[in-house]
Amino acid sequence: MKVPFPDAVPGPDGLGRVHLVGIGGAGLSAIARLMAQQGVSVSGSDAADTDVVRALRSEGITVHVGHAAEHVAGVDTVIVSTAVREDNPEVVAARAAGARLWPRSAGLRSVMSGRRTVAVAGTHGKTTTTAMLTCALVGAGAEPSFAIGAEVASLGTNARLGAGHLLVAEADESDGAFLHYEPAVAVVTNVDADHLDTWGTEEAYAAAFDEFVGTVAELLVVGADDPGAAALVAVGRARGLDVVTTGIDPSAQVPDHPDDELRARDVRVVEGATTFLVDGMGLSGLPVQLAVPGAHYAQDALLALAVGLRLGHPADALVAGLATYGGARRRMERLGAVDGVTVYDSYAHHPTEIRADLAAARSLAGDGRLVVVYQPHLVSRTRRYGAEMGQALSSADRVVVADLYLAREDPDPAVTAALVVDAVHGPPASAGGPVESVHAALLPELGDGDLVLTLGAGDVTTVGPRILEGLRTREASGA
């Protein structure tokens, strides 16, 4: 459901009792944690008893499984996920009681109160860049607060209230949330049209990023390897912002501002790690090593390093912090290995993200076979990008495409997994049907040396654990 952003957003101390509907999601769980750590009385509800729900309970937050009107009795502010329906009993009861009904963006804006915000936006790489920047700042002793769109292993959480004055936040454009934060510092990783169910056209999507830059007060850092992000350089400078560009591709340099560029060279992806050298902003050949594989991670790390340098932190401390980043949940996350088969899971759901993750997975697979299970996410995205999704998947050795994850949209008989399967050229590709049954059909095919990568923003994340369990059963039986 779409809830309007309120005219005024008080800080956490002015919210009274707060209840979050859909608290188990990455966005709302981060807000809940930050509010609870600021002394707010927080509760929430979610459809399932997940690891996140159990972790929130262990932190002292009351979380109900299932939704009921009595959960919001006496609550002053109700914050809802975009996935929540209008007829949700807690939403209905909150409206009837006259409680504040807020979107996620208002909750995040509230916890930003009194802090200098660094907002990380862009179509791809937001979560990783936000996490890397947080790790870099922690390494530099800045003690930032942070709100990240996934659990980060090296931080132990997706959100924490820090002692410093900075708050690093992932700024999501999918529902226009990023237009409400008014950050001091902003990062734009790239601008590659997506979420057209919200924005309607690619032009409107790009215009939203122009508008986002108009909300920034001081510093804008953009990934100049991407033309959409590079176009924002002129927008930022026209507004009088300090603008820094980063990138790997020499042809993507923005001329006439050599002191405002950070470049990476000699990027190498070897044995699950990424190394490169950094030039610019007073650096020459600074070595950086990341504990995650992929050239796109070098781009994310450059953005984080540029922000840290511009905020006055020493390069060596920032690089040491970057080295602690070992990945985020559902971002090329290694789930395990059984009977010679290794399983990874990733959130990638757009062709650009699919290509980047398959390149990283190929480096991890070595001489082994790369088997990909992909679940398209959203009818509107699959209608627009289905053929490109299939083309991006073509670098795998075997492709299985599960039924679409509908999320907030109604089904369209003309938009199915076949749009993706038919565009795969090279490897064997098939429609896998319901995500619940994909593992059973795939298991007999898997053998020693295979790397299985599950991809998508929906419940395809359940496939990897099922495959591992099936492999354990097979191994135990000697089959």
Catalytic positions: 126-127, 170
Q: Report which of 243, 265, 239 is spatially closest to residue 254, judged by C-alpha positions.
A: 243
The encoded tokens of residue 89 equal 């009993």
User: Looking at the DSSP assignment, which residues form a beta bridge with residue 265?
Assistant: 277
Q: How far apart are CA 467 and CA 197, in angstroms?
A: 33
Q: How far apart are CA 163 and CA 399, in angstroms?
A: 47
Q: How far apart are CA 3 and CA 83, in angstroms?
A: 11
In three-state secondary structure terms, 121 is strand
Yes or no: say if 368 and 341 are a contact pair by the CB < 8 Å rule. Answer: no
Q: How far apart are CA 28 and CA 211, in angstroms?
A: 24
Q: How far apart are CA 229 and CA 127, in angstroms?
A: 17
The encoded tokens of residue 358 equal 């398959």
Q: Report which of 163, 43, 167, 166 is spatially closest to residue 99, judged by C-alpha positions.
A: 43
Q: Would you put residue 24 in left (φ > 0), alpha (ψ -120 to 50) or beta?
A: alpha
The encoded tokens of residue 48 equal 């399932």
In three-state secondary structure terms, 3 is coil
Alpha-carbon distance values, 15 to 38, 42, 71, 263 (Å)? 11, 10, 17, 44
Amino acid letter, 64: H
The encoded tokens of residue 350 equal 């757009």
Yes or no: say if 319 and 308 are a contact pair by the CB < 8 Å rule. Answer: no
